[in-house]
A and B are shown apart, each in its own frame.
Chain A
């Protein structure tokens, strides 16, 4: 019995739902608009979050830790340090940069001013030798630093990495994440409330019908279905419109900025197509979800006959 009732349901349900949206066109439009507004604001925060995450990841992956050696380190000390570093699980790659290589790199980087360094050679090289370390996880930077510093005085002069940048980025990342969640919760509640009210209107307009359905033996699921479908449809409509608006605006702004991030580090934004892919996925699920939840709340009271 249950199966046959599900089989014939879609046709009636879709028919009733479309009729109802049409009948309440003003409130339906208001619901869709509220979803659009909520989703646009959410979208801005989401794009921000995605990009901050991307930049953070990018910067972190480029981060190196430099262990500068004392000018008078011995080969034994160098070997011991190198062994210790290579044994560590936290470290992905270790490269040794001799004083000569460091001087050469520095000379190259100075380009036109290279002659300034012409007085220096391997005899009076001011540059220290170093280990350049790339870590597996940027969060472990501190630990690697501690490890390297344990050789201080035994070959290691000092250790440095872009600590300030990393910490600033990580905390900014955390901040945008938290902000996005707060915005998500607040806007969800507002949208659900507005959809709830719209659906309550349609439920109220059809309360007689619901009563009759109950007496004839319709199951709650059957009665609920068209209202949930209606709410979901309203949410989805809002999602699609909001997505189009966000998409057009985002690409327009990207065109204006031209990839310039005004950041002190070399990093790139997330690929716009990937961001949009994530966004439409999130929008559809989210729009449908708040629509359905609003409807479930709206109809609950009227089912008690």
Chain B
């Protein structure tokens, strides 16, 4: 569950705010696209969710917790409830596929036994079981993104946030990635996909939120790309 209540975020007093009085509600188990031009406030939206930055005004709620009220010490525990997929993958080059995914479990203190059990399952889910012992540079972009997805879901987050997950991929691979995300969503995880990819948004027919100059312009449940290019 994600809720923004009249959220405004300004970085610089002399420039216009990145987000202007945005209110929205994303229910548990939803699949939502967030679209908008560069500079529309998409990155700010994600950074607020991760509590990388704090809202200037208004509050952000995740699973009924007011994120703005979290202390610095509590931020890591907030992030453990969310999986994050980046456009530029952010895999560790000196670790194998298996180790990259296992790493996310090590960090939060899971036992070796749990790791050995869960990592192959997650890799199987994204269809990369056969690549387990390869290193990131040996994989194609689509495969790397699947590793990232496996890493993002390995700790069973309730929310999966994807920042331009298909930004670096060709259309065919993009659809594969999106269908993996859809499958994850079907298993109960809330999925938020920030994207530019008009074609995917239009075919998926999911809820689409459109940001324009920091304002939430369209909230369309039927699934149409919310602005004309």
Q: A: which residues have CB within 8 A of B?
A: 1-2, 4-9, 12, 208-209, 211-220, 222, 305
What's the nearest-Cβ distance from chain B to residue A215, in Å?
A: 5
Whole-angstrom distance between the alpha carbons of A6 and B108 in the complex? 9
Q: A217-B79, A217-B80 are in contact. Are A5 and B108 (CB under 8 A)?
A: yes
Whole-angstrom distance between the alpha carbons of A218 and B72 in the complex? 12
Tell me what chain A mostly uses at the interface: helix, strand, loop, or mixed. Answer: helix
Q: Give residues of chain B (75-117) contacting chain A, Cβ–Cβ below 8 Å.
A: 76-80, 84, 90, 92, 103-104, 106-112
- When the two chains form their complex, are residues A1 and B108 in contact, meaning their CB atoms are under 8 A apart? yes
Q: B: which residues have CB within 8 A of A?
A: 50, 52, 72-73, 76-80, 84, 90, 92, 103-104, 106-112, 151, 155
Whole-angstrom distance between the alpha carbons of A1 and B112 in the complex? 15
Neighbouring B residues of A212 by C-beta, 8 Å: 90, 92
What's the nearest-Cβ distance from chain A to residue B213, in Å?
A: 27
- When the two chains form their complex, are residues B109 and A5 in contact, meaning their CB atoms are under 8 A apart? yes
Q: Which 7 pairs from chain A and chain B are nearest by CB?
A: A5-B109, A217-B80, A217-B79, A218-B107, A4-B109, A219-B76, A217-B76
Partner of A8, one of B50, B84, B110, B155: B110
- When the two chains form their complex, are residues A215 and B111 in contact, meaning their CB atoms are under 8 A apart? no
Max chain A C-beta neighbours (<10 A), residue from B73, B77, B108 = B108
Q: In chain B, what residue has the closest Cβ to A218? A: B107
Partner of A216, one of B52, B109, B112, B151: B151
- When the two chains form their complex, are residues A217 and B77 in contact, meaning their CB atoms are under 8 A apart? yes
Neighbouring B residues of A218 by C-beta, 8 Å: 76, 107-108
Whole-angstrom distance between the alpha carbons of A215 and B78 in the complex? 10
Neighbouring B residues of A6 by C-beta, 8 Å: 109
What's the nearest-Cβ distance from chain B to residue A11, in Å?
A: 9
Q: A211-B90, A215-B84, A305-B52 are in contact. Are A12 and B77 (CB under 8 A)?
A: no
- When the two chains form their complex, are residues A8 and B111 in contact, meaning their CB atoms are under 8 A apart? yes
Neighbouring B residues of A211 by C-beta, 8 Å: 90
Neighbouring A residues of B79 by C-beta, 8 Å: 214-217
What's the nearest-Cβ distance from chain A to residue B162, in Å?
A: 13
Neighbouring B residues of A219 by C-beta, 8 Å: 73, 76
Whole-angstrom distance between the alpha carbons of A211 and B79 in the complex? 13
- When the two chains form their complex, are residues B52 and A12 in contact, meaning their CB atoms are under 8 A apart? no
Q: In chain B, what residue has the closest Cβ to A9? A: B109
Partner of B90, one of A4, A9, A208, A217: A208
Partner of B108, one of A208, A217, A305: A217
Max chain B C-beta neighbours (<10 A), residue from A4, A9, A219 = A219
Neighbouring B residues of A8 by C-beta, 8 Å: 106, 109-112
- When the two chains form their complex, are residues A217 and B110 in contact, meaning their CB atoms are under 8 A apart? no
Q: In chain A, what residue has the closest Cβ to B83? A: A216
Whole-angstrom distance between the alpha carbons of A9 and B107 in the complex? 8
Neighbouring B residues of A215 by C-beta, 8 Å: 50, 79, 84, 90
